[in-house]
């Protein structure tokens, strides 16, 4: 157990639907990062939150949004889902700076049918 | 923009043989460099990291990596491969301590008995 908890582990949904992925960071970590892993694109950085505030944005689609709550857990919302959104979505956390290294959760596998 | 290139999407070695996984980076400033391992159906686990201290970095499970600025490389090695080393390995870079990690495409390591 890495200390980063992601739920659900698997999600199957239809095109056009909306889903929410949840992440609880390791105790004491203030930064949360979301990554999308697919066979063709590899690991793509989506967005980072630090202590409740958006810190950095990567290749995140406008249909996707995220937030970090006062208890530091984070949610990634994916809407108007398309087949191409099928992927593994990872959450990672770190203490304060990225150079400390990330602790990853086990991921949420999203399948859009 | 910073980037990471991992040469070889798939490397196959015999059990007991040397493991060498290649990683080259591009960064305008001295970077922070990382190697992660991903076992099937799991999240990424930090193997080792370079943060401008010693150029030879030792990690978990007998792995080590050497930072070579002149070659912009950070290759991962292990003297003797074990069956349990079979996994996907990712090199990642952060040009500063506060920038989200950029990952390479990954190298799948197979170990043959």
Please answer yes or no on whether B104 and A33 come within 8 Å at the CB atom. Answer: no
Q: Give me the mean pLDDT over the A89-104 stretch.
A: 84
Q: Give me the mean pLDDT over the B82-92 stretch.
A: 96
Measured between alpha carbons, how far is A7 from A17 in angstroms, rounded to an integer? 18
Kindly state the percentage of chain B with pLDDT values over 90.
Answer: 73
- pLDDT tens, A53-73? 999 999 899 999 999 999 999
- pLDDT tens, A41-55? 889 999 999 999 999
Q: Which of A45-54, B43-52, B90-99 has the lowest mean pLDDT?
A: B90-99
Please answer yes or no on whether B103 and A2 come within 8 Å at the CB atom. Answer: no
Size of interface A-B (CB pairs under 8 A): 58
- pLDDT tens, B48-79? 998 877 889 999 999 999 999 889 999 999 99
β-bridge mates for residue B67, sequence order: B74
Measured between alpha carbons, how far is A107 from A88 in angstroms, rounded to an integer? 6
| Secondary-structure percent of chain B, ordered helix, strand, coil, rounded to 5 | 5, 55, 40
Find chain A residues with C-beta within 8 A of B102's C-beta: 45
Q: Which residue has the tokens 């980037």?
A: B3
Angle (nearest 5°) at CA A102 between A105 and A106: 10
Is a pLDDT exceeding 70 seen at residue A98?
no
Distance, in angstroms, between A40 CA and closest chain B CA? Answer: 9
Q: Specify burial of residue A52 (Cβ count, 10 A radius: 0-12, 13-18, 19+).
A: middle
Distance, in angstroms, between A11 CA and closest chain B CA? Answer: 14
């Amino acid at each position: 157990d890495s200390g980063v908890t992601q739920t659900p582990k698997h999600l199957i949904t239809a095109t056009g639907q909306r889903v929410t992925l949840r992440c609880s960071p390791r105790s004491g970590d203030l930064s949360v990062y979301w990554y999308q892993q697919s066979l063709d694109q590899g690991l793509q950085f989506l967005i980072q939150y630090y202590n409740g505030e958006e810190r950095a944005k990567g290749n995140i689609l406008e249909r996707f949004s995220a937030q970090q709550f006062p208890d530091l857990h984070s949610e990634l919302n994916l809407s108007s889902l398309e087949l191409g959104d099928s992927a593994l979505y990872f959450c990672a956390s770190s203490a304060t700076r990225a150079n400390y290294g990330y602790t990853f959760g086990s991921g949420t596998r999203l399948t859009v049918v | 923009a910073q980037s990471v290139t991992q040469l070889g999407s798939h490397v196959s070695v015999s059990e007991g043989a040397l493991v060498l996984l290649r990683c080259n980076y591009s960064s305008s400033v001295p970077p922070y460099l990382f190697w992660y391992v991903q076992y099937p159906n799991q999240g990424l686990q930090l193997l080792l990291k370079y943060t401008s201290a010693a150029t030879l970095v030792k990690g978990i499970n007998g792995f080590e990596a050497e930072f070579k600025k002149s070659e912009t490389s950070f290759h991962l090695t292990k003297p003797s491969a074990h069956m349990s080393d079979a996994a996907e390995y990712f090199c990642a870079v952060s040009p500063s301590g506060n920038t989200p990690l950029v990952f390479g495409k990954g190298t799948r390591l197979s170990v043959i008995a």
